[in-house]
A and B are shown apart, each in its own frame.
Chain A
Amino acid sequence: MRVVIEVTYLISSVFFIFGIKYLGSPKTARKGNLYAAIGMFLAIVITLFDQHVLTFEWIIAGVIIGSTIGTILAIKVPMTGMPQMVGMLNGFGGGASTLVALAEYYKLNPNYPIDKGLIFNLPINQGIAIILSLLIGGVTFTGSMIAFGKLQGLVTGKVVKYPLQHPINLILLLAVLGTGAYIVINPGSIMLVLIITLVSLVLGVLLVLPIGGADMPVAISLLNSYSGIAGATTGFVLGNNELIIAGALVGASGIILTLIMCRAMNRSLMNVLLGGWASAGSAGPATGTTSPKGDVKSIDSEELAMLLDAVSSVIIVPGYGMAVAQAQHAVRDLMNVLEKKGANVRFAIHPVAGRMPGHMNVLLAEAQVPYDKLFAMEDINDDFSNTDLVIVIGANDVVNPAARHDQSSPIYGMPILNVDYAKTVIINKRSLNVGYAGIDNELFFYPNALMYFGDAKEAISKLTNEIKNL
Protein backbone atom coordinates (compact mmCIF):
# COMPACT_ATOMS: atom_id res chain seq x y z
CA MET A 1 0.00 0.00 0.00
CA ARG A 2 2.88 2.34 0.83
CA VAL A 3 4.10 2.02 -2.77
CA VAL A 4 0.67 2.62 -4.25
CA ILE A 5 0.31 5.75 -2.13
CA GLU A 6 3.71 7.10 -3.12
CA VAL A 7 3.09 6.41 -6.81
CA THR A 8 -0.25 8.20 -6.59
CA TYR A 9 1.45 11.20 -5.01
CA LEU A 10 3.87 11.17 -7.94
CA ILE A 11 1.02 11.07 -10.47
CA SER A 12 -0.70 13.86 -8.59
CA SER A 13 2.50 15.97 -8.72
CA VAL A 14 2.64 15.45 -12.48
CA PHE A 15 -0.95 16.67 -12.73
CA PHE A 16 0.06 19.82 -10.84
CA ILE A 17 2.98 20.43 -13.19
CA PHE A 18 0.83 20.01 -16.29
CA GLY A 19 -1.87 22.09 -14.65
CA ILE A 20 0.47 25.02 -14.16
CA LYS A 21 1.92 24.54 -17.64
CA TYR A 22 -1.54 24.71 -19.23
CA LEU A 23 -2.49 27.70 -17.07
CA GLY A 24 0.13 29.55 -19.11
CA SER A 25 -1.95 29.94 -22.26
CA PRO A 26 -5.48 31.34 -22.55
CA LYS A 27 -6.52 28.45 -24.80
CA THR A 28 -5.56 25.71 -22.36
CA ALA A 29 -5.91 27.55 -19.04
CA ARG A 30 -9.24 26.01 -18.08
CA LYS A 31 -7.90 22.55 -18.75
CA GLY A 32 -4.85 23.42 -16.65
CA ASN A 33 -6.99 24.39 -13.71
CA LEU A 34 -8.95 21.14 -14.09
CA TYR A 35 -5.73 19.10 -14.18
CA ALA A 36 -4.53 20.76 -10.99
CA ALA A 37 -7.88 20.01 -9.36
CA ILE A 38 -7.63 16.35 -10.42
CA GLY A 39 -4.14 16.22 -8.92
CA MET A 40 -5.52 17.58 -5.67
CA PHE A 41 -8.40 15.11 -5.67
CA LEU A 42 -6.02 12.19 -6.17
CA ALA A 43 -3.77 13.38 -3.34
CA ILE A 44 -6.69 13.76 -0.94
CA VAL A 45 -8.29 10.40 -1.73
CA ILE A 46 -5.07 8.39 -1.54
CA THR A 47 -4.13 10.01 1.78
CA LEU A 48 -7.28 8.48 3.26
CA PHE A 49 -5.70 5.07 2.65
CA ASP A 50 -2.63 5.98 4.69
CA GLN A 51 -2.04 3.59 7.58
CA HIS A 52 -2.18 6.50 10.03
CA VAL A 53 -5.65 7.54 8.95
CA LEU A 54 -7.99 5.39 11.01
CA THR A 55 -10.89 7.56 12.06
CA PHE A 56 -12.95 9.52 9.61
CA GLU A 57 -15.57 11.52 11.48
CA TRP A 58 -13.32 14.57 12.01
CA ILE A 59 -12.08 14.40 8.45
CA ILE A 60 -15.59 14.22 7.02
CA ALA A 61 -16.74 17.10 9.18
CA GLY A 62 -13.74 19.21 8.18
CA VAL A 63 -14.09 18.44 4.48
CA ILE A 64 -17.81 19.25 4.46
CA ILE A 65 -17.41 22.52 6.37
CA GLY A 66 -14.38 23.63 4.36
CA SER A 67 -15.83 22.72 0.95
CA THR A 68 -19.11 24.46 1.74
CA ILE A 69 -17.42 27.68 2.80
CA GLY A 70 -15.06 27.53 -0.18
CA THR A 71 -17.89 26.96 -2.64
CA ILE A 72 -20.01 29.77 -1.23
CA LEU A 73 -17.08 32.19 -1.33
CA ALA A 74 -16.20 31.23 -4.91
CA ILE A 75 -19.75 31.63 -6.18
CA LYS A 76 -20.59 34.81 -4.33
CA VAL A 77 -17.49 36.93 -4.89
CA PRO A 78 -17.94 39.62 -7.55
CA MET A 79 -15.15 39.99 -10.11
CA THR A 80 -14.24 43.37 -8.64
CA GLY A 81 -13.69 41.60 -5.31
CA MET A 82 -11.19 39.15 -6.77
CA PRO A 83 -8.03 40.68 -5.22
CA GLN A 84 -9.36 40.30 -1.68
CA MET A 85 -10.69 36.82 -2.45
CA VAL A 86 -7.25 35.68 -3.61
CA GLY A 87 -5.74 37.31 -0.53
CA MET A 88 -8.12 35.53 1.82
CA LEU A 89 -7.76 32.07 0.24
CA ASN A 90 -4.02 32.50 0.40
CA GLY A 91 -4.30 33.14 4.12
CA PHE A 92 -6.23 29.93 4.72
CA GLY A 93 -3.45 27.97 2.99
CA GLY A 94 -0.86 29.53 5.27
CA GLY A 95 -3.04 28.93 8.33
CA ALA A 96 -3.36 25.26 7.43
CA SER A 97 0.44 24.94 7.30
CA THR A 98 0.79 26.45 10.76
CA LEU A 99 -1.89 24.16 12.19
CA VAL A 100 -0.33 21.05 10.65
CA ALA A 101 3.09 21.97 12.06
CA LEU A 102 1.54 22.45 15.51
CA ALA A 103 -0.33 19.16 15.26
CA GLU A 104 2.87 17.35 14.31
CA TYR A 105 4.69 18.86 17.28
CA TYR A 106 1.93 17.76 19.63
CA LYS A 107 2.08 14.28 18.14
CA LEU A 108 5.63 13.91 19.43
CA ASN A 109 4.10 13.76 22.87
CA PRO A 110 0.57 12.46 22.39
CA ASN A 111 -0.09 12.31 26.13
CA TYR A 112 0.16 16.05 26.54
CA PRO A 113 -1.27 17.72 28.59
CA ILE A 114 -1.47 14.84 31.10
CA ASP A 115 2.19 13.97 30.70
CA LYS A 116 4.26 17.13 30.69
CA GLY A 117 7.47 15.25 30.07
CA LEU A 118 9.98 16.32 27.47
CA ILE A 119 9.97 15.09 23.92
CA PHE A 120 13.42 13.71 23.25
CA ASN A 121 12.90 12.32 19.85
CA LEU A 122 12.78 15.29 17.50
CA PRO A 123 15.17 14.94 14.56
CA ILE A 124 16.90 18.23 13.79
CA ASN A 125 15.61 18.33 10.20
CA GLN A 126 12.04 17.90 11.28
CA GLY A 127 12.47 20.38 14.09
CA ILE A 128 13.72 23.06 11.72
CA ALA A 129 10.91 22.30 9.29
CA ILE A 130 8.30 22.63 12.06
CA ILE A 131 9.66 26.01 13.18
CA LEU A 132 9.81 27.32 9.60
CA SER A 133 6.26 26.10 8.93
CA LEU A 134 5.02 27.93 12.01
CA LEU A 135 6.84 31.09 11.01
CA ILE A 136 6.02 31.22 7.28
CA GLY A 137 2.53 29.81 7.69
CA GLY A 138 1.76 32.24 10.50
CA VAL A 139 3.03 35.27 8.60
CA THR A 140 1.09 34.17 5.51
CA PHE A 141 -2.11 33.71 7.51
CA THR A 142 -2.33 37.05 9.29
CA GLY A 143 -0.51 38.92 6.50
CA SER A 144 -3.07 37.72 3.97
CA MET A 145 -5.95 38.54 6.27
CA ILE A 146 -4.65 42.11 6.67
CA ALA A 147 -4.26 42.33 2.90
CA PHE A 148 -7.85 41.11 2.59
CA GLY A 149 -8.98 43.72 5.09
CA LYS A 150 -7.18 46.49 3.24
CA LEU A 151 -8.62 45.51 -0.14
CA GLN A 152 -12.11 45.07 1.32
CA GLY A 153 -11.85 48.46 3.00
CA LEU A 154 -12.03 47.01 6.53
CA VAL A 155 -8.48 48.10 7.30
CA THR A 156 -7.13 51.42 6.07
CA GLY A 157 -5.66 51.19 2.58
CA LYS A 158 -3.30 54.03 3.41
CA VAL A 159 0.35 53.67 4.25
CA VAL A 160 0.51 52.94 7.98
CA LYS A 161 3.67 54.01 9.75
CA TYR A 162 4.61 53.07 13.28
CA PRO A 163 7.76 53.98 15.15
CA LEU A 164 10.78 51.68 14.95
CA GLN A 165 9.03 49.65 12.27
CA HIS A 166 12.09 47.86 10.93
CA PRO A 167 13.88 47.24 14.26
CA ILE A 168 10.68 45.81 15.79
CA ASN A 169 10.12 43.44 12.88
CA LEU A 170 13.74 42.36 12.90
CA ILE A 171 13.67 41.69 16.64
CA LEU A 172 10.47 39.65 16.33
CA LEU A 173 11.97 37.64 13.49
CA LEU A 174 15.15 37.00 15.45
CA ALA A 175 13.09 36.06 18.50
CA VAL A 176 11.24 33.42 16.47
CA LEU A 177 14.45 32.04 14.97
CA GLY A 178 16.28 32.08 18.32
CA THR A 179 13.47 30.38 20.21
CA GLY A 180 13.14 27.98 17.30
CA ALA A 181 16.80 27.05 17.48
CA TYR A 182 16.43 26.42 21.21
CA ILE A 183 13.46 24.11 20.61
CA VAL A 184 15.27 22.18 17.91
CA ILE A 185 18.12 21.53 20.34
CA ASN A 186 15.97 21.04 23.47
CA PRO A 187 12.59 19.84 22.24
CA GLY A 188 9.76 19.53 24.70
CA SER A 189 8.26 22.85 25.55
CA ILE A 190 4.76 23.35 24.22
CA MET A 191 4.68 26.86 25.62
CA LEU A 192 7.64 28.05 23.55
CA VAL A 193 6.15 26.61 20.38
CA LEU A 194 2.91 28.45 21.05
CA ILE A 195 4.88 31.65 21.63
CA ILE A 196 6.63 31.17 18.29
CA THR A 197 3.26 30.75 16.62
CA LEU A 198 1.87 33.84 18.27
CA VAL A 199 4.88 36.01 17.41
CA SER A 200 4.74 34.81 13.80
CA LEU A 201 1.08 35.79 13.62
CA VAL A 202 1.89 39.25 15.00
CA LEU A 203 4.76 39.57 12.54
CA GLY A 204 2.39 38.93 9.62
CA VAL A 205 0.18 41.82 10.76
CA LEU A 206 3.11 44.19 11.25
CA LEU A 207 4.67 43.36 7.89
CA VAL A 208 1.57 43.96 5.78
CA LEU A 209 -0.09 46.79 7.73
CA PRO A 210 2.33 49.49 6.45
CA ILE A 211 1.66 48.66 2.81
CA GLY A 212 -0.48 51.08 0.85
CA GLY A 213 -3.31 50.00 -1.43
CA ALA A 214 -1.53 50.51 -4.75
CA ASP A 215 1.38 48.35 -3.60
CA MET A 216 -0.98 45.43 -3.08
CA PRO A 217 -0.02 43.66 -6.33
CA VAL A 218 3.44 43.13 -4.83
CA ALA A 219 2.09 42.16 -1.42
CA ILE A 220 -0.42 39.66 -2.81
CA SER A 221 2.16 38.05 -5.10
CA LEU A 222 4.66 37.75 -2.31
CA LEU A 223 2.11 36.27 0.11
CA ASN A 224 1.15 33.84 -2.64
CA SER A 225 4.77 32.77 -2.80
CA TYR A 226 4.92 32.46 1.00
CA SER A 227 1.89 30.16 1.03
CA GLY A 228 3.72 27.89 -1.41
CA ILE A 229 6.89 27.87 0.66
CA ALA A 230 4.82 27.15 3.77
CA GLY A 231 3.36 24.14 1.93
CA ALA A 232 6.87 22.97 1.07
CA THR A 233 8.10 23.28 4.65
CA THR A 234 5.07 21.26 5.75
CA GLY A 235 6.29 18.70 3.23
CA PHE A 236 9.64 18.62 5.01
CA VAL A 237 7.86 18.14 8.34
CA LEU A 238 5.95 15.15 6.98
CA GLY A 239 8.72 13.89 4.70
CA ASN A 240 6.29 14.07 1.79
CA ASN A 241 7.71 14.82 -1.67
CA GLU A 242 4.42 15.86 -3.19
CA LEU A 243 3.98 18.71 -0.72
CA ILE A 244 7.55 19.75 -1.39
CA ILE A 245 7.00 19.76 -5.16
CA ALA A 246 3.64 21.53 -5.09
CA GLY A 247 4.91 24.06 -2.56
CA ALA A 248 8.05 24.76 -4.58
CA LEU A 249 6.00 25.28 -7.77
CA VAL A 250 3.72 27.80 -6.06
CA GLY A 251 6.63 29.46 -4.27
CA ALA A 252 8.45 29.93 -7.58
CA SER A 253 5.34 31.22 -9.32
CA GLY A 254 4.68 33.77 -6.60
CA ILE A 255 8.29 34.97 -6.64
CA ILE A 256 8.21 35.46 -10.41
CA LEU A 257 5.03 37.51 -10.19
CA THR A 258 6.55 39.51 -7.34
CA LEU A 259 9.63 40.29 -9.43
CA ILE A 260 7.48 41.31 -12.40
CA MET A 261 5.51 43.65 -10.14
CA CYS A 262 8.69 45.10 -8.61
CA ARG A 263 10.19 45.72 -12.02
CA ALA A 264 6.99 47.45 -13.09
CA MET A 265 7.40 49.87 -10.19
CA ASN A 266 11.17 50.17 -10.48
CA ARG A 267 11.79 48.85 -6.97
CA SER A 268 14.15 46.14 -5.86
CA LEU A 269 12.90 42.97 -4.24
CA MET A 270 15.07 43.82 -1.26
CA ASN A 271 13.24 47.12 -0.92
CA VAL A 272 10.03 45.09 -0.87
CA LEU A 273 11.23 42.34 1.46
CA LEU A 274 12.41 44.87 4.02
CA GLY A 275 8.94 46.32 4.11
CA GLY A 276 10.03 49.57 2.48
CA TRP A 277 7.17 49.15 0.02
CA ALA A 278 5.46 52.31 0.96
CA SER A 279 8.51 54.52 0.93
CA ALA A 280 7.93 55.78 -2.58
CA GLY A 281 4.39 56.69 -1.66
CA SER A 282 5.32 58.72 1.35
CA ALA A 283 8.64 60.12 0.21
CA GLY A 284 7.39 63.07 -1.72
CA PRO A 285 3.89 64.31 -1.14
CA ALA A 286 2.87 67.04 -3.56
CA THR A 287 4.71 69.86 -1.85
CA GLY A 288 8.20 68.48 -2.29
CA THR A 289 8.11 68.11 -6.04
CA THR A 290 8.06 70.68 -8.75
CA SER A 291 4.45 70.83 -9.73
CA PRO A 292 4.06 72.02 -13.25
CA LYS A 293 1.60 74.86 -13.29
CA GLY A 294 -0.35 75.81 -16.30
CA ASP A 295 -3.74 75.52 -17.82
CA VAL A 296 -5.70 72.34 -17.63
CA LYS A 297 -8.10 72.00 -20.49
CA SER A 298 -11.27 70.05 -20.00
CA ILE A 299 -13.77 68.69 -22.45
CA ASP A 300 -17.41 67.68 -22.09
CA SER A 301 -19.08 64.57 -23.40
CA GLU A 302 -20.61 66.26 -26.45
CA GLU A 303 -17.32 67.69 -27.71
CA LEU A 304 -15.53 64.47 -26.92
CA ALA A 305 -18.09 62.46 -28.89
CA MET A 306 -17.45 64.63 -31.93
CA LEU A 307 -13.73 64.23 -31.49
CA LEU A 308 -14.10 60.45 -31.30
CA ASP A 309 -16.31 60.38 -34.37
CA ALA A 310 -13.32 61.20 -36.55
CA VAL A 311 -10.59 58.98 -35.10
CA SER A 312 -9.37 55.73 -36.59
CA SER A 313 -7.16 54.41 -33.77
CA VAL A 314 -7.95 54.47 -30.07
CA ILE A 315 -6.08 53.01 -27.10
CA ILE A 316 -7.87 52.73 -23.78
CA VAL A 317 -5.74 52.73 -20.63
CA PRO A 318 -7.70 51.38 -17.63
CA GLY A 319 -6.57 51.78 -14.03
CA TYR A 320 -7.82 51.12 -10.53
CA GLY A 321 -10.39 53.90 -10.97
CA MET A 322 -12.19 51.73 -13.51
CA ALA A 323 -12.41 48.92 -10.98
CA VAL A 324 -13.66 51.20 -8.21
CA ALA A 325 -16.38 52.66 -10.45
CA GLN A 326 -17.17 49.16 -11.82
CA ALA A 327 -16.98 50.78 -15.23
CA GLN A 328 -15.78 47.73 -17.18
CA HIS A 329 -19.16 47.13 -18.86
CA ALA A 330 -19.51 50.80 -19.79
CA VAL A 331 -16.02 50.67 -21.27
CA ARG A 332 -16.98 47.59 -23.29
CA ASP A 333 -20.00 49.47 -24.70
CA LEU A 334 -17.77 52.37 -25.67
CA MET A 335 -15.43 49.96 -27.42
CA ASN A 336 -18.32 48.44 -29.39
CA VAL A 337 -19.64 51.82 -30.50
CA LEU A 338 -16.21 52.98 -31.62
CA GLU A 339 -15.57 49.76 -33.49
CA LYS A 340 -18.89 50.07 -35.25
CA LYS A 341 -17.65 53.43 -36.49
CA GLY A 342 -14.62 51.70 -37.91
CA ALA A 343 -12.02 52.65 -35.30
CA ASN A 344 -9.34 50.23 -34.17
CA VAL A 345 -9.74 49.99 -30.38
CA ARG A 346 -7.10 48.41 -28.17
CA PHE A 347 -6.35 48.34 -24.47
CA ALA A 348 -2.98 49.03 -22.87
CA ILE A 349 -2.48 47.42 -19.46
CA HIS A 350 0.26 48.47 -17.09
CA PRO A 351 1.56 45.53 -15.02
CA VAL A 352 0.64 47.15 -11.71
CA ALA A 353 -2.69 48.62 -12.79
CA GLY A 354 -5.24 47.68 -10.14
CA ARG A 355 -4.73 45.78 -6.93
CA MET A 356 -3.30 42.47 -8.11
CA PRO A 357 -1.40 41.17 -11.12
CA GLY A 358 -3.79 40.88 -14.06
CA HIS A 359 -6.64 42.70 -12.26
CA MET A 360 -7.67 44.76 -15.30
CA ASN A 361 -7.61 41.71 -17.55
CA VAL A 362 -10.07 39.86 -15.33
CA LEU A 363 -12.47 42.80 -15.16
CA LEU A 364 -12.41 43.35 -18.93
CA ALA A 365 -12.82 39.63 -19.51
CA GLU A 366 -15.91 39.76 -17.33
CA ALA A 367 -17.25 42.52 -19.58
CA GLN A 368 -16.57 40.23 -22.56
CA VAL A 369 -13.74 42.25 -24.03
CA PRO A 370 -11.77 39.68 -26.07
CA TYR A 371 -8.36 39.05 -24.51
CA ASP A 372 -6.52 39.61 -27.78
CA LYS A 373 -7.50 43.28 -27.56
CA LEU A 374 -5.54 43.69 -24.33
CA PHE A 375 -1.87 44.52 -24.72
CA ALA A 376 0.93 44.46 -22.18
CA MET A 377 2.98 47.60 -21.74
CA GLU A 378 6.02 46.44 -23.70
CA ASP A 379 3.88 45.27 -26.62
CA ILE A 380 2.01 48.52 -27.15
CA ASN A 381 4.26 51.30 -25.87
CA ASP A 382 5.77 52.02 -29.30
CA ASP A 383 2.32 52.36 -30.86
CA PHE A 384 1.16 55.40 -28.90
CA SER A 385 3.03 57.78 -31.22
CA ASN A 386 0.91 56.74 -34.20
CA THR A 387 -2.37 56.62 -32.31
CA ASP A 388 -5.03 59.29 -32.78
CA LEU A 389 -6.51 59.23 -29.34
CA VAL A 390 -5.87 57.67 -25.95
CA ILE A 391 -8.49 57.45 -23.22
CA VAL A 392 -7.06 57.05 -19.73
CA ILE A 393 -9.72 55.74 -17.34
CA GLY A 394 -8.90 55.96 -13.66
CA ALA A 395 -5.15 55.58 -14.04
CA ASN A 396 -2.67 58.19 -12.87
CA ASP A 397 0.88 57.43 -11.78
CA VAL A 398 1.43 54.80 -14.49
CA VAL A 399 0.94 57.46 -17.19
CA ASN A 400 2.92 60.27 -15.52
CA PRO A 401 5.72 61.35 -17.89
CA ALA A 402 7.69 62.65 -14.88
CA ALA A 403 8.81 59.04 -14.40
CA ARG A 404 10.85 59.41 -17.60
CA HIS A 405 12.71 62.67 -16.99
CA ASP A 406 12.18 64.14 -13.52
CA GLN A 407 14.92 62.75 -11.33
CA SER A 408 13.47 64.36 -8.22
CA SER A 409 10.16 62.54 -8.64
CA PRO A 410 9.51 59.55 -6.36
CA ILE A 411 8.34 57.57 -9.36
CA TYR A 412 11.41 58.43 -11.46
CA GLY A 413 12.54 55.37 -13.37
CA MET A 414 9.23 53.55 -13.17
CA PRO A 415 8.27 52.20 -16.61
CA ILE A 416 5.16 54.05 -17.78
CA LEU A 417 2.71 53.86 -20.65
CA ASN A 418 3.74 56.53 -23.18
CA VAL A 419 0.25 57.95 -23.57
CA ASP A 420 1.58 61.49 -24.01
CA TYR A 421 3.07 60.50 -27.38
CA ALA A 422 -0.41 60.10 -28.86
CA LYS A 423 -2.00 62.96 -30.80
CA THR A 424 -4.62 63.51 -28.13
CA VAL A 425 -4.91 62.14 -24.60
CA ILE A 426 -8.25 62.15 -22.83
CA ILE A 427 -8.00 61.63 -19.09
CA ASN A 428 -11.15 60.56 -17.32
CA LYS A 429 -10.88 61.27 -13.61
CA ARG A 430 -13.15 62.54 -10.91
CA SER A 431 -10.84 65.42 -10.02
CA LEU A 432 -7.30 66.71 -10.45
CA ASN A 433 -6.30 64.96 -7.22
CA VAL A 434 -2.98 63.24 -6.96
CA GLY A 435 -2.59 59.50 -7.44
CA TYR A 436 -1.15 56.98 -5.04
CA ALA A 437 2.40 58.29 -5.27
CA GLY A 438 1.11 61.61 -3.96
CA ILE A 439 2.49 63.71 -6.78
CA ASP A 440 0.95 65.96 -9.41
CA ASN A 441 0.68 64.49 -12.86
CA GLU A 442 2.27 66.83 -15.36
CA LEU A 443 0.46 65.01 -18.14
CA PHE A 444 -2.71 66.92 -17.22
CA PHE A 445 -0.98 70.16 -18.22
CA TYR A 446 0.31 68.93 -21.56
CA PRO A 447 -0.95 70.72 -24.68
CA ASN A 448 -2.34 67.49 -26.14
CA ALA A 449 -4.13 66.46 -22.93
CA LEU A 450 -7.81 67.02 -22.23
CA MET A 451 -9.50 66.27 -18.92
CA TYR A 452 -12.88 64.58 -19.04
CA PHE A 453 -14.13 64.86 -15.48
CA GLY A 454 -16.62 62.49 -13.88
CA ASP A 455 -17.14 59.07 -12.32
CA ALA A 456 -15.80 56.53 -14.80
CA LYS A 457 -19.02 54.56 -15.18
CA GLU A 458 -21.32 57.56 -15.62
CA ALA A 459 -18.92 59.54 -17.75
CA ILE A 460 -18.16 56.69 -20.14
CA SER A 461 -21.83 55.69 -20.49
CA LYS A 462 -22.75 59.29 -21.21
CA LEU A 463 -20.00 59.48 -23.82
CA THR A 464 -21.18 56.29 -25.49
CA ASN A 465 -24.72 57.65 -25.73
CA GLU A 466 -23.48 60.92 -27.20
CA ILE A 467 -21.60 59.03 -29.89
CA LYS A 468 -24.66 56.93 -30.67
CA ASN A 469 -26.73 60.10 -31.04
CA LEU A 470 -24.39 61.76 -33.49
Chain B
Amino acid sequence: MENLTFLMHIYVFVLAIFVGFELITKVPPTLHTPLMSGSNAISGITIVGALLSAGMKEFTISTILGMIAVIFAMINVVGGFLVTDRMLKMFKKKK
Protein backbone atom coordinates (compact mmCIF):
# COMPACT_ATOMS: atom_id res chain seq x y z
CA MET B 1 0.00 0.00 0.00
CA GLU B 2 2.82 2.31 0.96
CA ASN B 3 4.51 1.63 -2.36
CA LEU B 4 1.29 2.13 -4.28
CA THR B 5 0.83 5.60 -2.82
CA PHE B 6 4.41 6.39 -3.71
CA LEU B 7 3.79 5.21 -7.25
CA MET B 8 0.79 7.52 -7.49
CA HIS B 9 3.03 10.43 -6.51
CA ILE B 10 5.48 9.46 -9.25
CA TYR B 11 2.53 9.39 -11.67
CA VAL B 12 1.50 12.88 -10.71
CA PHE B 13 5.09 14.11 -10.94
CA VAL B 14 5.64 12.74 -14.45
CA LEU B 15 2.31 14.04 -15.76
CA ALA B 16 2.93 17.48 -14.23
CA ILE B 17 6.31 17.66 -15.98
CA PHE B 18 4.56 17.07 -19.30
CA VAL B 19 2.02 19.78 -18.50
CA GLY B 20 4.88 22.12 -17.63
CA PHE B 21 6.71 21.44 -20.89
CA GLU B 22 3.52 21.95 -22.90
CA LEU B 23 2.69 25.24 -21.19
CA ILE B 24 6.11 26.78 -21.31
CA THR B 25 7.45 25.99 -24.77
CA LYS B 26 5.06 28.62 -26.11
CA VAL B 27 6.20 31.50 -23.91
CA PRO B 28 7.72 34.33 -26.04
CA PRO B 29 11.26 35.48 -25.12
CA THR B 30 9.90 38.88 -24.05
CA LEU B 31 8.32 37.22 -21.03
CA HIS B 32 11.21 35.01 -20.01
CA THR B 33 12.17 37.09 -16.98
CA PRO B 34 8.64 37.44 -15.54
CA LEU B 35 8.06 33.75 -16.25
CA MET B 36 11.15 32.92 -14.29
CA SER B 37 10.35 35.14 -11.32
CA GLY B 38 6.70 34.05 -11.33
CA SER B 39 7.49 30.35 -11.48
CA ASN B 40 10.13 31.02 -8.86
CA ALA B 41 7.43 32.29 -6.53
CA ILE B 42 5.42 29.12 -7.21
CA SER B 43 8.37 27.01 -6.09
CA GLY B 44 7.85 28.65 -2.70
CA ILE B 45 5.01 26.12 -2.28
CA THR B 46 7.38 24.36 0.13
CA ILE B 47 5.76 26.82 2.56
CA VAL B 48 3.20 24.03 3.08
CA GLY B 49 5.85 21.76 4.55
CA ALA B 50 7.28 24.65 6.54
CA LEU B 51 3.88 25.41 8.11
CA LEU B 52 3.39 21.77 9.07
CA SER B 53 6.68 21.83 10.97
CA ALA B 54 6.38 25.28 12.51
CA GLY B 55 2.86 24.58 13.76
CA MET B 56 3.48 21.30 15.57
CA LYS B 57 1.84 20.77 18.92
CA GLU B 58 5.05 20.34 20.82
CA PHE B 59 8.04 22.60 20.54
CA THR B 60 11.04 20.73 19.12
CA ILE B 61 14.01 21.40 16.87
CA SER B 62 11.64 20.85 13.97
CA THR B 63 9.59 23.85 15.10
CA ILE B 64 12.61 26.14 14.80
CA LEU B 65 13.65 24.66 11.46
CA GLY B 66 10.05 25.00 10.33
CA MET B 67 9.85 28.64 11.34
CA ILE B 68 13.06 29.54 9.50
CA ALA B 69 11.66 27.65 6.51
CA VAL B 70 8.45 29.72 6.77
CA ILE B 71 10.54 32.91 6.67
CA PHE B 72 12.55 31.71 3.66
CA ALA B 73 9.51 30.49 1.76
CA MET B 74 7.52 33.66 2.47
CA ILE B 75 10.38 35.83 1.17
CA ASN B 76 10.36 33.67 -1.95
CA VAL B 77 6.58 33.77 -2.37
CA VAL B 78 5.80 37.40 -1.49
CA GLY B 79 8.94 38.83 -3.09
CA GLY B 80 8.46 36.69 -6.20
CA PHE B 81 4.84 37.55 -6.91
CA LEU B 82 5.25 41.26 -6.13
CA VAL B 83 8.34 41.73 -8.25
CA THR B 84 6.74 39.82 -11.13
CA ASP B 85 3.72 42.07 -10.99
CA ARG B 86 5.96 45.13 -10.90
CA MET B 87 7.66 43.97 -14.09
CA LEU B 88 4.49 42.96 -15.89
CA LYS B 89 2.88 46.32 -15.17
CA MET B 90 5.52 47.86 -17.43
CA PHE B 91 4.94 45.64 -20.44
CA LYS B 92 2.84 47.73 -22.78
CA LYS B 93 1.90 47.51 -26.42
CA LYS B 94 2.23 50.40 -28.82
CA LYS B 95 -0.63 52.84 -28.43
- Closest chain-B Cβ to A233's Cβ sits at a distance in Å of 10
- CB–CB A59/B46 < 8 A: no
Using Cβ atoms and an 8 Å threshold, which residues of chain B touch A368?
90, 92
Using Cβ atoms and an 8 Å threshold, which residues of chain A touch B33?
82, 86, 356-359, 361-362
Using Cβ atoms and an 8 Å threshold, which residues of chain B touch A251?
17, 20
- CB–CB B20/A89 < 8 A: no
Which of A59, A93, A103, A371 contacts B72 (CB under 8 A)? A93
Which residues of chain A from 227 to 248 have any CB-CB distance to chain B below 8 Å in the complex?
A: 227-228, 230-232, 234-248
CA distance A30 to B91 in the complex (A): 10
Which residues of chain A from 322 to 347 have any CB-CB distance to chain B below 8 Å in the complex?
A: none
Which residues of chain B from 8 to 52 have any CB-CB distance to chain A below 8 Å in the complex?
A: 9, 12-14, 16-21, 23-52
Stretch of A172-180, A372-380, A411-419 that contacts chain B: A372-380
- Closest chain-A Cβ to B12's Cβ sits at a distance in Å of 5
Could you say which interface size class chain B belongs to?
35 or more
Which of A21, A243, A260 contacts B45 (CB under 8 A)? A243
Q: A17-B23, A66-B70 are in contact. Are A40 and B29 (CB under 8 A)?
A: no
Could you say which interface size class chain A belongs to?
35 or more
Report the tally of A-B residue pairs with Cβ distances under 8 A.
401
Q: Is the interface of B mostly helix, strand, loop or mixed?
A: helix
Which of A44, A59, A65, A358 contacts B32 (CB under 8 A)? A358
Chain A positions near chain B (C-beta within 8 angstroms): 16-17, 19-21, 23-26, 29-30, 32-34, 36-37, 39-40, 43-44, 47-48, 50, 52-56, 58-59, 61-63, 65-67, 69-71, 73-75, 77, 79, 82, 85-86, 89-90, 92-93, 95-97, 99-100, 102-104, 106-107, 110, 112-113, 123, 125, 220-221, 224, 227-228, 230-232, 234-254, 256-257, 260, 349, 351, 356-359, 361-362, 365-366, 368, 370-374, 376
The 3 A-B residue pairs with the shortest CB-CB distance, nearest first, are A66-B74, A252-B20, A62-B70
Q: Supply 12 further A-B pairs (C-beta < 8 A) apart from A29-B91, A66-B75, A104-B62.
A: A24-B24, A26-B91, A36-B81, A37-B81, A66-B78, A70-B82, A125-B2, A224-B39, A244-B9, A249-B19, A357-B33, A376-B30
